[in-house]
Chains A and B, each alone.
Chain A
Amino acid sequence: MKMKQSFLGKVCLLALFVIFTSAQLYAQKVSGVVVDETNTPLPGVNVVVKGTTNGVITDFDGKYSINPANIQKDILSFSFIGMETKEISINGQKEINVQMKSNTLELDEVVAVGYGTVKKRDLTGSVSSVKSEEITKTSSSNAMQAMQARVPGLDIQQSSGQAGAGISINLRGNRSISASNSPLILVDGIEYGSTLDVNPSDIESMEVLKDASSTAIYGTRGANGVIIITTKRGKSGSTKVNFNAYVSSNSPTNVPQVMYGDKEVQRLIDKANYQADAASGNWGTSNLTPQQVLTESLEDFTEIGIYQDKSYTNWADNILQNGLTKNYELSVSGGNEKTTFNLSLGTMFDEGLMKDDKQSRYNVRTNLDHKISNVFKAGTSLMFTYKDNDSRNASVFSQALKMTSITHPYTAEGVLIATPNPRYAAHCNPLLDEIDGAYKNNVESTRFFGNTYLEVSPMKNMNFKTIFALDRSNTRSGIYQDYQSVSRYQSPGTSFISSEYENKTGLTWENTLNYNTNFGGTKHEITALLGQSMKQSVYEESITSGDAGREHYYTSLFYDLSKIASATTTSQFIKSSMLSYFGRLNYKYNEKYLLTASVRADGSSTLAKGHQWGYFPSVALAWRVNEESFLKDTDWLSNLKVRTSWGISGNAAVGAYSTLTSLSTTPVYYYLGATSIAGNIPSTLGNKDLTWEKTASYNFGLDFGIIDNRVSGTIDYFISNTSDLLYRKSAPPSSVYPSVLANIGETKGHGLEVSLNTLVAKTKDFSWDINWTYTTYKDEITKLSEGVTTNISGTTGQIVGQAVSIYYDFEANGNWNVGEYATYKADWEARHPGETIGYVTAYGAPGTMKIVDRNDDGMLTDDDKIVYNRSPKHIFGMNNSMSYKNFSLSVLVYARIGGYISYDMNSQLNYESANWGNLDYWTPTNVNAKFPSPGAPSTTFGSYGSALKYEKADYLKIKDITLGYNLPKSAISHIGLSNVKVYGSMKNYFTFSKIDNYDPERGGAISFPLSKQLVVGVNVEF
């Protein structure tokens, strides 16, 4: 029904347009030149007849020409980003030349908010903005990386150094337990997804909407914050060409180390000594030699021989290499008064740190805007992306880490030794995957992401926009693993082929109506927005995979599916749709008092009938204190604004079909009558009552600028409460389904964000400003399901009163020394007469882990575990920009303090036959070591080893140092260039942390190390 009402409403609205079509009046022409403070012509300045949509843009020489309706009374408004807007009454003049002043405060800068833009001075919510200059200042394949350290409240981390690897983005802490905590990312108003493939130089601005008053207009998709990316559009005037290119040399950094050479030999000796001591009972007496321990051999070498000539093998060196990234972006923009365009082409070739770890990407983009008349404007944004990605198997890393260094990868003749570990034949050579064709994991994807809009301005101050967007992507993922590749060699010893095709289609149609008016002699200003949106997405996937026998398919790889002996095919189809209505009202009184109120209604197909609609209101107030008369004369204060807001936004985490009881899609087999019969068994119990997670949040903000804005900044404090959390609550397994999805949990969070701009120096030749950001937040689970305060699964889970993202595990406290456990046991028995101690078999053996039995009950249970909070306490960013004459230098420093990671290298203890991480282990003479003895029984480590993994993740990074040089205009202008900048960067070169040879930003993973990059680039403009 709602649809039909809306439809009728729209028809009425459109009828109104007809009535209000404005007459075109003959008008006289005004022209002139706009220059900046140094009298350099300013291209691209917006020149608008105030109160109308009649406007032009200055050309390359700063010239403009406009036809005002009334050459006597009209006022011309000149605006340009970074400049103070200037208004001049025409008073009959035919030539008006203007000098514009730069505006360091950028209060008149326009920022994108949901379904529109506002001037920064009129913002009521918490919004951070990053402009194109910042984004292109440093080279990056993913523009989102430019936000790290620049936006308070935003936590961006990269964990893998693989080519094309993604990043994790989290805004204002965690709210959800089982749903995503990633913000909504929109490109030109349409949802894009978190892998941002847009050329960084195509981006005009990125806005981060943080508080609920800003995000509630996105309803169910707003709770994790919204990032709005606006791409560059053409400007009328002379045609501009931009060329950006860089080359980056990537080399491994902070690679976790395993034991190498003599150190590994010593570990084998210590292991044998331990076992001999354990047998004899005389600890510390066995003193074996390498000759006694290194007894193993293969056809091509003996261990002792390797020990003697030190021909050890460093496996990390064997599998890692330096990579090269090449990136080229070319854009052409321009246009005339009626039509503007921006075309671009980007290509990127990215190599990771291993052979065949690479990605190439091509982007083609067209942005076109055309003014049909004063009433109609139409335009389009079209982007096509093609990606081709080869990636390596992570098991190569685990294999390289496990592999002994007391071996050779090749025979003397240079033939690869397939199983080079003389102690364990099952460990195959990690270099097996580098044989041509032995391993291939190729993902080829294309994406069309485009929209077309039509704007109608039937009357003054009224604008209707309809936009239709199409997002279609196709991905083919092919995997071939030869039977002689790392993951197949040992077992099952057959080749494997898998080919997956998926396509996604997203259709969005949105209609918005904007109306703006003022009354009471411009004291009251009202802007209103009404909108409607329809969104549908369809996902289809089919995978064909299976075993291809003991045969090499080095050439046909995964392309020839007929080689699969018995293929398994699975497929998926997921369709969801959403229908939304929204509205917003902005009210401004006397330029001082600002009010924003919005509401959105969302209806979703993924919820059960009767539960499909949700409503998301918000309201915000702001007071521009410095506009008050009592502060007018306070010279040192250039800006002061206080803001407060409240709103509710949602998280659309309910997956399609999750309200239905369904069967498993993975077939279950059983062998009957000489065939394996496939069946589908129940898998989930549907829950008709599922609804959205809702976050209600308050935001209190302060914007200030002092001493001519030499120091300016923003402080925001927020409190948020999330309810109806989707949570897989535990049910007794005896009632069949041990986990059932329901809206039961609640979390809360609060935090403080500060950003500060300090202009340290500004002289004619030298300027230095520092942009500081600081974030702190805390989140907490306040409720799980009825009567349940903990839900632990393995080493993760939820506990009421604790942070949302935690590890819950035992506490390791060194190792048992000789005789120590017997004393402990006797003491315990004395404390607990008549009871027996119940630790695992072999617990307490010398040199094995000591686990803290917190409640002293003689058993190690969940009650003995402690919380390791994963979230950081403090995030600092410091972004220095210095310029001296034609030189510029920027230094980006980033620090993240607090939070634990589970560091995988700390579990690289392989009791049997494999190498260890370079860890400090217990021996009778090194009793304070953290890690257990290599000779000790492995049962305690097997059960409680994860307690050794937790490390404080504090780190400080000098993330980026870029030195740039602008070629003198005199040198380039005669060859037709307007600007040439060359630059060099060192990225990720300096990391300071407590963990040796590791970058904690990676969050504990050890498989694909991050790279440090040396970049050389050039930006050319003409």
Chain B
Amino acid sequence: MKKKIYILIAAMALMLGTPSCSDYLDEDNKVGATADLTYSTATGIQGLVSSCYSFSRGWYGKEAGLGLSEMGTDLFNYGYDNKQKSLNSYNLTAVSLDDNSSDNACLDQYWELFYCAVDVCNTALKYVPLNTVINETLRSQYMGEAYFMRAFYYLHMVNIWGAIPYNSEPPSSVVTDATRVPEEVIYSNILSDLDKSIADFKTANYMTKADGRASYWAARALKARTLLYAASWLGKNSIVTNPDYNGKDLYALAKAESEAVIGSGIASFYDNYADTWSMKNEDASKNKESIFGVTYSPDLSTNVNCIPYRYRTNASGSALSYNGLITRTGYSRGGNAMLLMFVGMWNNGASDLGNNGKETFVRALGESTYYITNIVTGEKVYVAEKYSPYGRGFTRYLPSVYLWKLLDKYRATDQRTNATIQEAYTIAPGLEKSSKNYPSIQDTAIYYCPLDGNSAAGKAKQAWAKGRYRIQFLANGDIPVFTSTDPATAKPTEAAKAKSDVYGDARYNSYKIGGWCSYPTIKKFQDDVFDPAYPTNDISSRDAIVLRLSEMYLVKAEAELGTGSNGAALATLNELRAKRAIAGKDNSLSGTVDINTILDERAIELCGEQQRWFDLKRTKTLVSRVKAYNAQGAASIKDIHYYRPIPQAQLDAVTNKSTTAGSGFWQNDGY
């Protein structure tokens, strides 16, 4: 017995001695990576630098980013199913609506997104110099990219909110108070970042746009834009904090930068303007006119196009998602949503076109929707490739009367009219006469006509269209798109027409034929290449081109105007217009250039490209132009709207909240 006990004691002593006390309670972290470890590898630092760009996908090519940059301007009205109507009707508040995606300006989530984006850039700026495995050239290139992206994000932020907190490095602890840095200081910092970026790219000799990264010329193009913004918004000699710019004429600098980019050969014009927007040329690194863009992978089935998760977590610590207006398809696929934004109810609202439109139109979703049977011949007609580009009727935006008329004005001489606006929906060959209500239908099924339906020309058009296709006039007539031809009062029509004046029947008795559902579309962003592997077109892999060559001409012209060289400005505009002219036509302007000339040209060239709100803001024409051209917002717009409200979530969380501008953390005036 005793022997057994001794054995047991010995065994136990062994067991008790096994776990050494000093390390039993040590953490052993094998998967949750830490910064020091991850960013010391070549792959890790490459991933970090590429992640600097990822956040830009939350703004470019997304519904909410488009809303904040194009809504509430002179160019667009909201359509039936718009999810950000408050941006257009200017009744937005500081309330943080977070995940609500029914009427949400999303400013609270963008506030978060931009600060996270800046943090990733700051992290890159901290860890790239510490990485010893990459070579000096690559290190300079990475630094150039990180400086570029930090400047890029801050430029958006300062234009949205004005004075904002400026983080120049990753945080080491929580800061519960926050300081709003004056706009001039933010601009000084942006210019300083861009200069460092330019210098680093130069050191790395990274002058190409070949793989989609920012480059030397992208940085100079962004600098041209930044200088123009600063000059027009803050004043031509406004920068004082950055000694390199102290007291200098920012217009002159902007002009010099834009000229340098134009002359660099980094980008060139397509002879055929529509090629700029062909899906065949969507790749921002290959598109001839592109200088820099936000990229999307052609892989639409995995999560590689998603934006990062939020840093904000739920109660159990899991990272939260940005809402659907910012992610488009959540975190399974992401993707570019621009192809949906301007599309009206061409198929799903076409109840007048026989059997609810199904006699002529169908959206290509899969094999079963690739064919339509002609009701006259009984022949099965393949329609998928024809209809696929029309996309899906999200009814978010329609061109305003101002934009439609402006494009119409230069129809005869300028390629951009036809390449920008789609006024007719034509049917697939083989479906001729396949509509009970329009027995003479040939190629056109729906035509949006920029005429006044009450005019003589309008009436003649209507008479011709009878029985051939549905015609909707800009205003007046049987089923108008707008309530008036006057851009100051015109709103999209909303109601159905119980009885058609022309046909005497109830074919238009649907709200879906009202102007805010049925309207001419902007076709720049259409997915015009049919892909049988992905026919649904609910997301796109189109890159969002952010800096284009034509913008440099527009920057140059405006800078020339700013430096008093009116004639030079006109010449620069005409240089661009000549590139856009229909072959053999004189597309030039004449007379005196003013800011409206510039803004009109920007509208024709850049509409929908996520710049308009900033252009109106910085040129201080937002209030006057909305009052003149956007009846949905005219009644509410005020000077306070030059700044967006600071999100309530930020104000609630700071400990130095104040009600006085300039002290503590204050809200923008009027919110």
What is A's interface to B at a CB cutoff of 8 Å? Answer: 1-4, 6-7, 10-11, 14-15, 17-18, 21, 177-178, 275-276, 278-279, 295-297, 373, 375-376, 418, 425, 454, 456, 466, 490-494, 509, 534, 546-547, 549-550, 565-566, 568, 571-573, 575, 577-579, 603-606, 612, 655-674, 676-685, 728, 730-741, 786-787, 793-794, 836, 838-842, 859-862, 938-939, 941-943
Indicate if the CB atoms of A279 and B496 lie closer than 8 Å.
yes
Known contacts A573-B30, A661-B34, A681-B120: A841-B85 contact under CB 8 Å: yes
Chain A residue with the shortest CB-CB distance to B27: A605
Complex Cα gap A942–B116 (Å): 28
Indicate if the CB atoms of A178 and B315 lie closer than 8 Å.
yes
Indicate if the CB atoms of B178 and A943 lie closer than 8 Å.
no
Q: Is B456 an interface residue (CB 8 A)?
A: no
Known contacts A15-B9, A655-B317, A732-B176: A418-B48 contact under CB 8 Å: no
Within residues 97 to 121 of chain B, which ones have a CB less than 8 A from any CB in chain A? 97-103, 111-112, 115-116, 119-120
Known contacts A663-B38, A732-B178: A672-B50 contact under CB 8 Å: yes
| A630 to B: closest C-beta gap in Å | 52
Q: Give the interface segment out of B88-96, B216-224, B597-605.
A: B88-96
Chain A residue with the shortest CB-CB distance to B347: A425
Indicate if the CB atoms of B103 and A733 lie closer than 8 Å.
no
Indicate if the CB atoms of A3 and B495 lie closer than 8 Å.
no
A662-B34, A682-B119 are known; give 20 further A-B pairs, CB within 8 A. A11-B9, A279-B495, A492-B333, A573-B31, A663-B32, A669-B297, A670-B295, A681-B120, A682-B170, A685-B173, A731-B653, A732-B176, A733-B312, A733-B653, A735-B167, A739-B312, A840-B86, A860-B95, A862-B95, A943-B102
Indicate if the CB atoms of A734 and B27 lie closer than 8 Å.
no
Give the 8 A-B residue pairs with the shortest CB-CB distance, closest first: A942-B102, A679-B47, A3-B21, A673-B211, A679-B51, A676-B304, A279-B495, A671-B297
Contacts of A840 in B (CB 8 A): 85-86, 91, 103
Complex Cα gap A565–B300 (Å): 12
Complex Cα gap A14–B116 (Å): 59
Contacts of B29 in A (CB 8 A): 573, 656-657, 660, 662
Within residues 578 to 630 of chain B, which ones have a CB less than 8 A from any CB in chain A? none
Indicate if the CB atoms of B170 and A736 lie closer than 8 Å.
yes
Q: Is B244 an interface residue (CB 8 A)?
A: no
Contacts of B101 in A (CB 8 A): 942
Indicate if the CB atoms of B19 and A661 lie closer than 8 Å.
no
| A614 to B: closest C-beta gap in Å | 12
A interface footprint on B629-671 (CB within 8 Å = 1, 0 otherwise): 0000000100000000001111011110000000001000000
Indicate if the CB atoms of A662 and B27 lie closer than 8 Å.
no
Indicate if the CB atoms of B304 and A7 lie closer than 8 Å.
no
| A574 to B: closest C-beta gap in Å | 8
Indicate if the CB atoms of A736 and B171 lie closer than 8 Å.
yes
Contacts of A373 in B (CB 8 A): 1
Contacts of B356 in A (CB 8 A): 295-297
Complex Cα gap A646–B5 (Å): 41
14 contacts between A and B (CB under 8 A): A10-B16, A21-B1, A425-B363, A425-B365, A566-B302, A669-B50, A669-B297, A670-B53, A671-B212, A730-B649, A735-B175, A736-B119, A841-B91, A939-B85
Q: Is B213 an interface residue (CB 8 A)?
A: yes
Complex Cα gap A494–B369 (Å): 17
A interface footprint on B159-201 (CB within 8 Å = 1, 0 otherwise): 0000011010011011111100000000000000000000000
Contacts of B112 in A (CB 8 A): 733, 738
| B624 to A: closest C-beta gap in Å | 20
Indicate if the CB atoms of A605 and B26 lie closer than 8 Å.
yes
Q: Which one of A376, A673, A682, A685 lies within 8 Å of B174 (CB-CB)? A: A685
Q: Which one of A573, A736, A740, A794 lies within 8 Å of B99 (CB-CB)? A: A794
Contacts of A794 in B (CB 8 A): 98-99
Contacts of B332 in A (CB 8 A): 492
| A371 to B: closest C-beta gap in Å | 14
Contacts of B135 in A (CB 8 A): none
Indicate if the CB atoms of A663 and B313 lie closer than 8 Å.
no
Q: Is B271 an interface residue (CB 8 A)?
A: no
Indicate if the CB atoms of B170 and A678 lie closer than 8 Å.
no
Indicate if the CB atoms of A838 and B91 lie closer than 8 Å.
yes
Q: Which one of B17, B20, B210, B309 lies within 8 Å of A666 (CB-CB)? A: B309
| B280 to A: closest C-beta gap in Å | 16
Indicate if the CB atoms of A738 and B312 lie closer than 8 Å.
yes
| B342 to A: closest C-beta gap in Å | 19
Indicate if the CB atoms of B511 and A494 lie closer than 8 Å.
no
Contacts of B164 in A (CB 8 A): 734
Complex Cα gap A661–B439 (Å): 70
Q: Is B278 an interface residue (CB 8 A)?
A: no
Indicate if the CB atoms of B98 and A3 lie closer than 8 Å.
no
Indicate if the CB atoms of A1 and B21 lie closer than 8 Å.
yes
| B154 to A: closest C-beta gap in Å | 12
Indicate if the CB atoms of A606 and B54 lie closer than 8 Å.
no
Question: Which of B44, B170, B295, B317 has most chain A Cβ within 10 Å?
Answer: B317
Indicate if the CB atoms of A534 and B174 lie closer than 8 Å.
no
Q: Which one of B48, B176, B312, B496 lies within 8 Å of A275 (CB-CB)? A: B496
Known contacts A3-B19, A734-B178, A943-B102: A677-B91 contact under CB 8 Å: no
A interface footprint on B546-561 (CB within 8 Å = 1, 0 otherwise): 0000000000000000
Q: Is B413 an interface residue (CB 8 A)?
A: no
Indicate if the CB atoms of A491 and B47 lie closer than 8 Å.
no
Contacts of A685 in B (CB 8 A): 171, 173-174
Known contacts A573-B30, A680-B44, A841-B86: A658-B652 contact under CB 8 Å: no
Complex Cα gap A77–B312 (Å): 64
Contacts of A14 in B (CB 8 A): 8-9, 12-13
Known contacts A14-B12, A577-B25, A667-B47: A662-B32 contact under CB 8 Å: yes
Indicate if the CB atoms of B511 and A670 lie closer than 8 Å.
no
Chain A residue with the shortest CB-CB distance to B46: A677
Complex Cα gap A275–B33 (Å): 57
Complex Cα gap A534–B24 (Å): 9
Indicate if the CB atoms of A177 and B315 lie closer than 8 Å.
yes
Chain A residue with the shortest CB-CB distance to B532: A550
Indicate if the CB atoms of A572 and B366 lie closer than 8 Å.
no
Q: Is B305 an interface residue (CB 8 A)?
A: yes
Complex Cα gap A549–B533 (Å): 9
Within residues 35 to 65 of chain B, which ones have a CB less than 8 A from any CB in chain A? 35, 38, 44, 46-51, 53-54, 57
A interface footprint on B531-550 (CB within 8 Å = 1, 0 otherwise): 00110101000000000000
Indicate if the CB atoms of B47 and A680 lie closer than 8 Å.
yes
Contacts of B210 in A (CB 8 A): 673
| A422 to B: closest C-beta gap in Å | 8
Complex Cα gap A736–B649 (Å): 13
Q: Is B132 an interface residue (CB 8 A)?
A: no
Complex Cα gap A741–B318 (Å): 12
Known contacts A10-B16, A671-B296, A732-B653: A491-B51 contact under CB 8 Å: no
Q: Is B460 an interface residue (CB 8 A)?
A: no
Indicate if the CB atoms of B170 and A680 lie closer than 8 Å.
no
| A561 to B: closest C-beta gap in Å | 15
| A148 to B: closest C-beta gap in Å | 26
Q: Which one of B34, B175, B308, B317 lies within 8 Å of A728 (CB-CB)? A: B317
Known contacts A671-B212, A677-B47, A680-B33: A943-B103 contact under CB 8 Å: yes
Indicate if the CB atoms of A276 and B304 lie closer than 8 Å.
no
Contacts of B33 in A (CB 8 A): 662-663, 665, 680
Contacts of A734 in B (CB 8 A): 111, 115, 164-165, 167, 178, 650
| B506 to A: closest C-beta gap in Å | 8
Known contacts A3-B20, A605-B26, A736-B167: A669-B303 contact under CB 8 Å: yes
Chain B residue with the shortest CB-CB distance to A15: B9
Indicate if the CB atoms of A679 and B91 lie closer than 8 Å.
no
Complex Cα gap A438–B366 (Å): 18
| B595 to A: closest C-beta gap in Å | 30
Chain B residue with the shortest CB-CB distance to A176: B315
Chain A residue with the shortest CB-CB distance to B33: A663
Indicate if the CB atoms of B304 and A942 lie closer than 8 Å.
no
Contacts of A549 in B (CB 8 A): 301
